[in-house]
Amino acid sequence: MKQTECTTILVGKKASIDGSTMIARSEDGGRTIIPEGFKVVMPNEQPKHYESVISHQKIDDSDLAQTPLRYTSAPDVSGKNGIWAAAGINSDNVAMTATETITTNSRIQGVDPLLDPKDGGLGEEDFVTLTLPYLHSAFDGVRRVGYLVEKYGTYEMNGMAFSDKDTIWYLETIGGHHWIARRIPDDAYVIAPNRLNIDEFDFDDPDNFAASSDLKDLIKKYHLNPDREGYNMRHIFGSSTIKDAHYNNPRAWYIHNYFDPDFGGNPGDQDQAFICHANRLISVEDIKWAESSHYQDTPYDAYGDQGTPEQKKTFRPIGINRNFETHILQIRNDVPAGLAGVQWLAFGPNTFNSMVPFYTNVTETPESFQTTPKFNLSKIFWLNKLTAQLGDTNYRVYGELEDAFEQKSLAQCHKIEHDTDEAAKDLKGEDLEKALNAANDKMAKTVYNNTVDLLGQMVEEGHGLMTLKYDLLD
């Protein structure tokens, strides 16, 4: 079973620099490398009969009877543990990212236990495949996943996000068959690490909050609420552990202080707010930097020179060797609908890669992003893994090369995107898809070639830094 430990970032349309909605997540794993790819799933490829690989849960054919939409995805290319589609945007410009592994506590597990996968239930393996092709709005995602969780149950705690051009909803599963969801205010952002994240909740505000129909009664019946007033879902259903203080909370704390230097607080704070507001409008570059971060300019930076060896290992960073795929799903409001969906995508450790803004109104994906399960340097997943592992040996030297590479790559992709937006704004149907396929290929080749150049520069710089050397003048 694939273990995923991710960091989610959500940005409302009035909080973003260009008026788009953005939902982002780094898809992280364990010690074993999990190659991730990029795929377009056509309606005729969507399963009509579905059975999970991990839990062997069968989905009733009636729940797959709707006409599916085309959508993009970032699957596990091995397929050994199922599809794990991770994230994408469908042809109605609705986006979904799933899932963020989150925490729970013994009180709710004693009331509504998670399923044993031997007995069925759904998990991260399944949610995007069973949900995204049937959505016509962000809130459709809440309804669909809520229905699936209540009917089939789940064997793990998960968070997931949905967006359209106007709204973002974030949903968290609760126990085996319950769930909660909150609409993200347009002017707000969210940082959601591997904990139960939704805090303040209002059962009397259906425009902004949603939950299993019996959840309020369940909380009362089983005395689950530790607070004297109101409903804080993190207090009721989540955790507040030493692991949270070292593994989860510091990631949120660091990015909060990047988006708002007045945020303050301490890395281990357990009650950092779910809904937050930045001191500026947030860009794609801000999100990528956040997803690549490792506590720079603090004693906790593994690459820094401020802390002791112990401090450098105190907190889990966001940018880490276990980043295997990271995406920013952007629905834009300043272009025609056929151009609005953009899936920014990067493979490998975020500290050493670059995002590529792929149009999602397409029928194919670039060859270099069609990852192979085995090591293959013609595929950017494996190329990025190589540059990251070499870069990690001397970050002081290689980090500057990577910064220049990323700045160059993002600028070139922005230029291709701007040119394509202008050239394709009046195109429709197959003509538009052809133009966007070509633009995606051009961006993929540009970043792939830049990454090859980066690797060459790293080899040249590293030649004189090798330990295995001997010079009569030494």
- CA–CA gap between residue 281 and residue 19 (Å, rounded): 9
- CA–CA gap between residue 4 and residue 124 (Å, rounded): 9
Place of tokens 């790293």: 458
- CA–CA gap between residue 424 and residue 336 (Å, rounded): 9
Is 413 marked active-site? no
- Total H helices, total E strands in the chain: 12, 16
Q: What is the DSSP letter of 203?
A: T
Coil/strand/helix, residue 76: strand
Report the Cα 354 to chain-centroid distance in Å.
15
What separation, in Å, do the N-terminal and C-terminal C-alpha atoms of the chain show?
A: 52
- CA–CA gap between residue 284 and residue 341 (Å, rounded): 14
Closest CA to 330 of 370, 369, 359: 359
- CA–CA gap between residue 399 and residue 382 (Å, rounded): 19
Closest CA to 235 of 274, 183, 191: 274
- CA–CA gap between residue 203 and residue 231 (Å, rounded): 9
- CA–CA gap between residue 111 and residue 219 (Å, rounded): 10
Neighbour tally for 9: CB within 10 Å: 26
Coil/strand/helix, residue 450: helix
Q: Which helix (H) or strand (E) holds 168?
A: strand 168-174
Residue 82 burial (10 A CB sphere; 0-12, 13-18, 19+): buried
Q: Strands of 341-347's sheet, edge to edge?
A: 189-192, 7-11, 21-28, 323-331, 341-347, 356-359
Half-sphere exposure of 396 (CA within 13 A, CB side): 3
Query: CA distances (Å), 261 to each of 22, 39, 280, in order?
Result: 22, 38, 11
Which residue in the list 2, 6, 192, 293 is annotated as catalytic? 6
Provide the angle, in degrees to the nearest 10, between the axes of the packed helices 284-292 and 395-424.
150
Which residues participate in catalysis according to the annotation?
6
